[in-house]
Structures are given as structure tokens and as C-alpha cells.
Chains A and B, each alone.
Chain A
């Protein structure tokens, strides 16, 4: 089975581009598995946040999946296209990474 991930990429400095990645998967695998596959096998520069990997404990892998806010670690891959984008109401850092730390836990406090 192949999931085609359409990922909105870029930094605040430039207009975003959508890149397309074909990810082979076994039933039960998740969007986070797919993103980690891309980083290890196709494009090591793809940026996304995660920590606990699959336990849904750290809550860091939140992003926009097919238009809805969801965790990459609990959303299953499926055949066909899936659209991934950074959280819409958070400041973009790079690719799927947004500024989600509370303002007083940042090195450079929000001004």
C-alpha cells in the first residue's frame, strides 16, 4: 500500500510549497511513521516535531491533516493522498514545525 503525502513546506521567509512523497506502509502505520520514513529514506531535511513517538503522551506532533487538527502519531496512513500542513494559528518555524511552547518557556520571549 502507498500513501501519497502532500506536505506544505517552507519557512516564514518564503511562500510555502507543497511537496509530494510516496510512502509505502503496512496496515496500522501512522502519519508519524510516514514522516519518519521520509526523513530516513527520502529527504532528511523534512522538519516536524515529535518526542514520544507513538504513545500520544508528549502531544508534540499536532498538525493539520486533511484540513483537521490531529496528532500524526495516532492518525493512520491510508491509500491515496493525505494533505499535511503546519498548525494554522501558530507561528510557523519550518515545514510542519510551529511555535507551540508557552510564551514564557521560550529562549526568546514573545514580544
Chain B
């Protein structure tokens, strides 16, 4: 291996989804030179491009609204664990970003001359904007990408896999990466680093993630010395597509059609069942029968009782909807469905819970800085804003709002900082890459599959002590199998090396989720314990994960009930 290629910038942004691209724009606007790096192609990987759904913001276009109302709904959904300062930033900045995106011609759906806002579960009024039909994510990605391209201060580099954040004297100062085409190491000196790598849902067998959502950013943050918060709270989306096989669409596509057309959930006996659980849980919100966590519970309980659909979920039926109305609501999507052999006027489809979003993440302050100076995070990589359960529509909002804020902060930090990077900051990561070898019978791609099964079966939507214990043991066994020296094939775009590096991150992050889930002896939001049903007020606290001398430490921390002044708002 030759000497590593060296790059230098004010702000390094890791991940080029919605959050990363917004961070790049704002960092550049703040006067910083920027490297926007992604392991995939710029603006193609990550979650944003896959988001087919809605984006919440109190713009008041559909009916009068105020961000305090949005905040109230966000806090309610978060079951008492939201970091209220972050939630407030999310809701207060949302209209600014949504209208800015509108000015950039993202194409929010319109009605009667105004931006149309849909009612989504958990919101007290129509608040969610979208791009028809199911084009929200691709439109957001494309719009941001075309803005980013126009800014000379932003250098975009795809196929660049960040291995570790470089830290000098406890301060973030760049990163060590691998150029996927050549396999050569690259070091990047940066005055500020922003983690914008999205979530961790690839840890689960059934997920709506893209390839690069194995939680890289959480692992990068942990190894850099930052703290993670609320790692036990993984949101499962109740009606992810299950059968028949559907390609060319995001598996979580059914929700908006359910609101629009009133799709009916049926168990294997073709009986409706949601109402029963709504009564049990006492949580019928009137417009939408069950919130995400309860719908997940209801479907899995029906399956457990032997009343599942053939593929192991529930039926979702639109058979009561006239064909012309289906065509109007689904638009061109109906043709994609036809290509998959699905005719909604004749057959129900099967759905089941699917790992969808992570509430936990890097613990940051209101400048989006982590415990490591000059290391920032934004988007789904940040924990705290959504508490124990995320309100629908808040994910893209969070990407845009937190991306912009973190980008501004990174530019300010870069202005005040000097380049601290020196070879010692990248020495350990370069040494790791140097140790790669062609060896071993273990197949890292197969081990990723094994890890996904462990997480799905034992750290899934419903948890119990014995299974969580087993999960930790199995995760540790996988960690031992992969060892500390990278496996590699030695070829360009080395799939063995990339799978190994992914797995290195995934086992660390999976363990963080499992130990936090094992320690929380109550059920709250997306964290449901079979052995500790019901919310326990004593558990209104956050759990913090740190990596100290190579060991994960979990510590409870009192949940800060910030006294935040409320804005005066009409109801």
C-alpha cells in the first residue's frame, strides 16, 4: 500500500442524503469549504431518496397552524422522552426549510392554489406535505443535489467509504477513508466533521433500509468518543409490504393510500382486528385506528395467535374501493403494481412490521455538536428529538432542519478552528486497513444475514429478557468470528472488505441497541417488553452508550425537563 492520498477541507460531511446535502449547502453558505463524501453515489444512497411519504411542517397552508402545535404532537408521540430543545428546533425550523424547498421547486403537491397538507396519524390537523405520486424522497434528493452541484465550495466525492473519524487531543479533525475503486486509503483533514449517515435499520432482516444504513455513523461516533442516546428505540413500521413480492417501490408505500382510501387490515380469517386492540390499549385517536406501535403489536399478536396471513402478516384490502378511485389515488403506481401482478380491486396484499427508523442516535447539543468538539451530527443519525416514538412525517423534516443547523454550526466551528489533523490522528485506522488479508472461511455477507436474523428475532418490536440475553451472546460471537483484522479479497471495489467494515460497525451498533433494550425494564413507545408491559414513570430517563477502552458502557441519565418558554399561539 502506498502512502495515503491526502485531502483537506474546512467541513467534512459524511453522507450525502437529505441531511448531508442540506448540511453542505449551509456550511458553504457559512463560508466553509466542504467535502461531501458518500460511500455510494452522491444523492442516491441513504434513506431520503427512498422516502415515498409525507413531510410534516406547520406551514398553515391547509388550515391555520403553528409550530407549537406540531411540537405538542411530536412530544406526545415521543412518550415523555423527547429532548424538547431538539424537538422545538425541528418544529420551529420546519416551515422555513419546507418553503425554501418549495422556492427551489421541489414540487410539493398543490390544491386550490396552496400547498396541500395531508392528515397523518398522530397529528392534530393536516400538516404533511408531499410530492405526488410517492415521489417525495426522490424529488427532495434531486432538488438538493442540483443545489449542491451549483456551489463551487462543495466538493462531492462518491464511492468514498469513511472508516473512522480522526481525533487529535480529543477533538475531531478529519477522517480516514477508503477509496472503493482502488482500495487505497485516503486521509481527510477537516476543521469540522458532520455525521449525516442516517439510521440503522439494516440491522434487521425485514427493513425498509438501503444498503448503507447499517448504523455506520453511530459506530463512527462511538469510536471517536461521542455518546449515543436512546439506542433501544427502533421504530417498526406496521404495514411494510410482505407479499406478493413487490419490486420497484419502497416497502412502506401503503400508508398514504390507507389514509386516502381507508384500506382495511384483516387477519388470516379475513376479520378486522384493529378495533379490538384499540379498545385494549385505550388509544384510538379517532381518525386512524392505531398508532404505529400499537398496529405493530396488533399484527404480531394476531400472527402469534395463529391468525396471520399465509406469509406471516396481515392482509391489507382495498377491494371495497371502486377501480376508478384506485386509479385516481394511486396514479402511475397502479401500473407498477400491475407489473408485480398485484390488482388491488381483486386481491388484498399482505403486510407485516418492518424496521423503519431509529429514534436513538448521536447525543448532540442544540448546535448539533456531539461530546467530541468539532464533531457534529444531523438527520436520523441524531438521537433525542423524537423520544421513544417518532411522529409520522418528522423524518425528512429532521433531515432538512438538522442538516441545515449542523452545517451552519460546522462552518462556525471551522472558522474558529485550525487544522489539527496530523498523521497520528489517522494512524490506527490506516493500520487497520493495512492489516486486511485474504483469509478465513467466514463469509462476512453471510454473517451480516445472521446478525440481521438475531436482531429481528430477538431485539425486534417485542422484547423479553431471555431473548435479549441470547442476542448479546450471539452478537459477541459474530464479533469474535470477524476478528480485528479486516477480511478482504484484494480486488477493486472489494465486496469482502466492505462487508467486513460494515459488519465491524454493525456488531457495535447492534450491541448498543441490545444492551439498552435489555436494561430498560418497561414498555414505552417503540420499545415493548413482553416481561415488563406498560409504561413505568420511574423509567422516564435516557440511557447513554459510550465506548471506553474498547468496551460499551451503558448509563442511565435523568431526562431533563427543560423549562422552555412557550410561544403564544391560538388553539
Stretch of B105-113, B273-281, B378-386, B488-496 that contacts chain A: B488-496
Q: Is the CB of B499 within 8 A of A47?
A: no
Residues from chain A with a CB closer than 8 A to the CB of B448 are 40
Q: Which of A27, A30, A108 has the most CB of B within 10 A?
A: A108
Interface residue B340 (Cβ < 8 Å from any Cβ of A): yes
Q: Confirm or deny: B244 has a beta carbon within 8 angstroms of a beta carbon on chain A.
A: yes
The answer to whether B157 and A55 have CB atoms under 8 Å apart is no
Does any Cβ of A come within 8 Å of B310's Cβ? no
Would you call B449 an interface residue if the criterion is a C-beta within 8 Å of the partner chain's C-beta atoms?
yes
B519 close to chain A: CB less than 8 A: no
Contact A74/B495 with A51-B44, A51-B211 known, Cβ cut-off 8 Å: no
CA distance A1 to B42 in the complex (A): 37
* A16 → B minimal CB distance (Å): 13
What mask results when residues 75 to 95 of chain A are scored 1 for a CB within 8 Å of chain B, else 0?
000000000000000000111
B443 interface residue per 8 A CB criterion = yes
Partner of B212, one of A44, A51, A100: A51
A15 in the interface (beta carbon within 8 A): no
Q: Are the C-beta atoms of B445 and A28 separated by less than 8 Å?
A: no
Produce 1/0 per residue, B151-168, CB < 8 A to A.
Answer: 000001111100000000
Interface residue SS majority, chain B? loop
Given contacts A93-B493, A105-B41, A106-B158, contact A55 B249 (CB under 8 A): yes
CB distance from B459 to the nearest CB of A (A): 21
* B432 within 8 A of partner (CB): no
Answer whether residue A53 sits at the interface, using C-beta atoms and an 8 A cutoff.
yes
- Known contacts A52-B49, A106-B157; decide if A40 and B492 are in contact (CB<8 Å): no
B137 CB within 8 Å of chain A: yes
- The answer to whether A30 and B445 have CB atoms under 8 Å apart is no
Question: B387: shortest Cβ distance to chain A, in Å?
Answer: 28
**With a CB–CB cut-off of 8 A, which chain A residues contact B160?**
107
B256 within 8 A of A: no
User: Which B97-125 residues sit within 8 Å CB-CB of chain A?
Assistant: none
Q: Is B477 an interface residue (CB 8 A)?
A: no
Tell me whether B44 and A44 are in contact (CB under 8 A).
Answer: no
CB distance from A79 to the nearest CB of B (A): 16
Question: Do the beta carbons of A105 and B210 come within 8 Å of each other?
Answer: no
**Interface size range on A against B:** 35 or more
Docked-complex contact B41 and A60, CB < 8 angstroms: yes
Set of chain A residues within 8 Å of B50, measured between Cβ atoms: 52, 55, 57
Name the A residues within 8 Å of B157 (CB-CB).
105-107
Q: How near does chain B come to A66, taking the closest CB pair, in angstroms? A: 18
A93-B158 in contact (CB<8A): no
- A73 at the binding interface (Cβ < 8 Å): yes
Which among A29, A47, A50 is the interface contact of B494 at CB below 8 angstroms?
A47
Chain A CB within 8 A of B186 CB: yes
Chain B 24-59 interface 0/1 with A at a Cβ cutoff of 8 Å (1 = within): 000000000000000011101110011000000000
Task: State whether the Cβ of B250 lies closer than 8 Å to any Cβ in chain A.
Answer: yes
A65 within 8 A of B: no
Please give the distance in Å from B405's CB to the nearest CB on chain A.
25
The answer to whether the Cβ of B473 comes within 8 Å of any Cβ in the partner chain is no
Question: Cα distance A29–B244 when bound, in Å?
Answer: 10
List residues of chain A with CB within 8 A of the CB of B489.
44-45
Q: How far is the CA of A97 from the CA of B180 in the complex (A)?
A: 11
The listed residue (B40, B245, B247) touching A58 by CB distance below 8 A is B40
Whether a CB of chain A sits under 8 angstroms from the CB of B319 is: no
Q: Are B445 and A58 in contact (CB under 8 A)?
A: no
Distance between Cα atoms of A93 and B182 in the complex (Å): 9
A46 within 8 A of B: yes
Cross-chain contact A40 with B247 (CB below 8 angstroms): no
Nearest A residue to B241 via CB reads A54
Q: Find out whether the CB atom of B496 lies under 8 angstroms from the CB atom of A44.
A: yes
Given B5, B40, B446, which contacts A107 in the complex, CB threshold below 8 Å? B5
- Is B446 a contact of A44 with CB atoms below 8 Å? yes
B211 touches A55 (CB 8 A): no
Asked if B45 and A94 sit within 8 Å, CB to CB, the answer is no
What is the chain B residue whose CB lies nearest that of A39? B445
- How far, in angstroms, from A48 to B553 measured CA to CA in the complex? 37
Report the bound CA distance from A58 to B45 in whole Å.
6
B449 surroundings in chain A (CB, below 8 A)? 40
Distance of A59 Cα from B210 Cα, bound (Å):
12
Q: Which of B156, B245, B449 has the most A CB atoms < 10 Å from its CB?
A: B245
Query: Closest residue of chain B to A59, judged by CB?
Result: B44
Additional pairs, 17, CB under 8 Å, beyond known A45-B489, A58-B45: A28-B245, A39-B445, A40-B445, A44-B446, A47-B492, A51-B41, A51-B44, A52-B44, A52-B49, A55-B250, A57-B50, A57-B137, A60-B45, A97-B492, A105-B156, A105-B158, A108-B179
